[in-house]
Amino acid sequence: MTAQQVEDLIHLGFAAKRKMLAIEEVRPHYVRARLPYRDSMLRPGNVLSGPALFSAADLVMYALVLSHLGPELMAVTANCNINFVAKAKPGDIVGEGRMIKLGRRLAVMEALLYSSAEPETLVAHVTGSYALPVKG
Amino acid sequence: MTAQQVEDLIHLGFAAKRKMLAIEEVRPHYVRARLPYRDSMLRPGNVLSGPALFSAADLVMYALVLSHLGPELMAVTANCNINFVAKAKPGDIVGEGRMIKLGRRLAVMEALLYSSAEPETLVAHVTGSYALPVKG
Amino acid sequence: MTAQQVEDLIHLGFAAKRKMLAIEEVRPHYVRARLPYRDSMLRPGNVLSGPALFSAADLVMYALVLSHLGPELMAVTANCNINFVAKAKPGDIVGEGRMIKLGRRLAVMEALLYSSAEPETLVAHVTGSYALPVKG
Amino acid sequence: MTAQQVEDLIHLGFAAKRKMLAIEEVRPHYVRARLPYRDSMLRPGNVLSGPALFSAADLVMYALVLSHLGPELMAVTANCNINFVAKAKPGDIVGEGRMIKLGRRLAVMEALLYSSAEPETLVAHVTGSYALPVKG
């Protein structure tokens, strides 16, 4: 699937009224996406919040599953582990998703998150497992 | 601190325009809170989204730290692990936070999440570590 | 299954030459087990090592799955998250396992670990997911 | 530090009677190590056990901290998250450790584990946080 196809599929599934994210690149086992900045992403101390970062990681990993399995809107997050490693200054959230293991029942993935305000500084490292639908 | 004090402190810190959560109970090492339902919490398939649940867990654990340390708005999430164990039907998110270990540098906590639509069904189990500010 | 049955099943499966653990109590959704102290459990600083504690948690959660599913020696650990919250002084490792969610494909569990040297002090909190064999 | 220096330091700290691991390569923010096969690493089903893999990851990440901070034998594992992604056939365990973030109080690292029996197949992906001693 192309980046635009993955992006359209996500917005279709969420019946999104606004642009949730832009898929910038899709390669086998790799996706890069950008979540546009919104004031609601901030927490006290003028940094991007944990939930905003989690949301970015979740969407990036979901895009990664979609890019491999097609319109698989029923893949479900089973487990997620997040290490927050630096304060994220206000900006877009850029996420790189990488497939660690694509099994029959579980997809295990990694997402690295950055703020566009400091694009060289990793702010969070996430690993997640998605349960894949059992094929009939 | 009382439940109302913890609730006020959270809303003050977030400069919140709307009621983000209601703290229902505060006891030593225990907090129960409720996040009111909003359409933005849904994901495809008409269930509460991972980010909405993460947000609830994060706020519950933050409330737990606040209730123990006072106006400690600079406590920062270091690590979070979420197991999503059941689909969460649309409703308020009710979270119970429990202190596992309150150290000098880290607070390790557990949060159990439920949907008000099925209050007996655990939907997510979360453990998190918050880095505590170093006292000067 | 009784505590003795679960204990026998584990030792049978591992073709164990020595007593690996003693199952002290089995109840629905709960197991308590004790791993006898061995010098090999120590790490520098005269505390019980991370791997020794992980091993205890893994055996406790495995016992919990066995107690629910019978001779299910093919259950496999998918994911494990460990928070080490206090130094564990040399002693037996006592572990309490609790079932968080027993699904068709995954069992999500929690294990709390203690050293017999300080039985009131939690040393590690573990959550784990085991993949259950697909029934034919 | 050289690979041999890191290897010697680990064995010194553990007062090891046998060779626990061989450090094969040390670069800034990267370590590769090999744990020699032992029958005790096996679990039912003739695969390398979770605890053996955890032990390998723990030693690899410890070596990574040592290579950056010198004889820092008091660094302590705070949190560890392991995704087991493939069965590990009997063999040496080869681990690659990578520094994700080296902070003042916490080192966050990643370890990728392989069995020498199938050196191209990732068997486990681990992230861990070590608490670093507070400098006096």
Q: How far is CA C136 from the centre of its chain?
A: 28
Report CA-CA distances (Å) from C129 to C52, C124, D82: 19, 17, 10
Structure tokens at A96: 């790189």
> Which residues of chain B have a CB within 8 Å of the CB of A15?
44
Check pLDDT > 70 for residue C135: no
Evaluate whether B113 touches B57 at the Cβ level (below 8 Å): yes
Instruction: Look up the CATH number of the domain holding residue B75.
Output: 3.10.129.10
**% chain D with pLDDT above 90:** 69
Under DSSP, the state recorded for B111 is: E
Task: ipTM value, please give it.
Answer: 0.91
Q: Identify the residue among D84, D87, D125 best suited for mutation to test binding to C, counting C beta carbons within 10 A and taking the highest.
A: D84
DSSP states of A39-83: GGGEETTTEE-HHHHHHHHHHHHHHHHHHHHSS-TT-EEEEEEEE
**Please, which chains are in contact with A (at least 3 CB pairs closer than 8 A)?**
B, C, D
CA distance readout (Å), C107 to C51, C78, C100, D48: 22, 10, 8, 21
**Residue C93, strand partner residues:** C35, C115
Nearest chain D residue to A113, by CA: D100
C100/B83 CB distance under 8 A: yes
Residue of C nearest to A127 (CA): C79
Residue C89 amino acid letter: K
Residue-wise pLDDT for B55-73, tens only, equals 999 999 999 999 988 876 5
Give the residue carrying structure tokens 């520098």: C44
Select the residue of A86, A100, A125 nearest D83 (Cβ to Cβ). Answer: A100
* Digit-coded pLDDT (tens) for A12-71: 877 777 888 999 999 999 999 999 999 989 988 899 999 999 999 999 999 999 998 887
Numbered residues of chain D with Cβ closer than 8 Å to any chain B Cβ = 78-79, 81, 105-106, 129, 131
Q: Which of C45, C77, C81 sits opposite D50 (nearest CB)?
A: C77
CB neighbours (10 Å) of residue B121? 14
Which pLDDT belongs to residue A136?
A: 45
Q: Which candidate from A79, A81, A105 shows the least CB-CB separation from C105?
A: A105
Q: What is the pLDDT of residue B136?
A: 45
- How far, CA to CA in Å, does B30 sit from each of B97, C83, C122, D103? 6, 19, 17, 31
| Cβ contacts of A80 on chain B, cutoff 8 Å | 50, 54, 81-82, 84
pLDDT at D112 over 80: yes
C contacts of A131 (beta carbons < 8 Å): 105-106
Chains with ≥3 CB–CB distances under 8 Å to B? A, C, D
Distance from CA of D108 to the nearest CA of C (A): 14
* Least Cα separation, residue C64 to chain B (angstroms): 17
**Residue A23 falls within a domain, yes or no?**
yes
- Residue B15 structural domain: 3-131
Residue D136, in any domain of the structure: no
* Residues ≥6 apart with Cβ < 8 Å to D15: C44
Look at residue B30 and tell me if it is in a domain. Answer: yes
What count of residues does chain C have? 136
Conformational region of residue C102, where left means phi above 0, alpha means psi within -120 to 50, and beta covers everything else: beta
Give the count of beta carbons closer than 10 Å to the beta carbon of residue A91: 17
Q: Is A21 left (phi over 0), alpha (psi -120 to 50) or beta?
A: beta
The closest of A26, A22, A47 to A115, measured between CA atoms, is A47
| Per-residue pLDDT tens digits for C48-80 | 999 999 999 999 999 999 998 887 667 788 999
Q: pLDDT band for A80, please (50, 70, 90 cuts).
A: very high
Q: How many CB pairs under 8 A join A and D?
A: 38
Answer whether residue A22 is part of any domain: yes
pLDDT of B114 above 90: yes
Number of domains in chain C: 1
Nearest to B82 among A43, A49, A80 (CB): A80
Statement: residue A134 has pLDDT above 60: yes
CA atoms within 13 A on the CB side of C70: 1
pLDDT surpassing 70 at residue C136: no
Question: Would residue A136 count as lying in a domain?
Answer: no
**Residue with structure tokens 């080490």?**
C84
Domain assignment present for residue A37? The answer is yes
**Hey, is B112 helix, strand or coil?**
strand
Each residue of D61-92: pLDDT tens digit?
999 999 988 876 677 889 999 999 999 999 99
Torsion angle of C-alpha atoms B50, A113, B17, A45, degrees rounded to 10: 130
Chain D residues in contact with B129 (beta carbon < 8 A): 78-79, 129
Does any domain span residue C136?
Answer: no
Q: What is the pTM of this model?
A: 0.94
Query: Given this model, what pLDDT does residue C72 score?
Result: 60
Whether residue B87 is contained in a domain is answered as yes
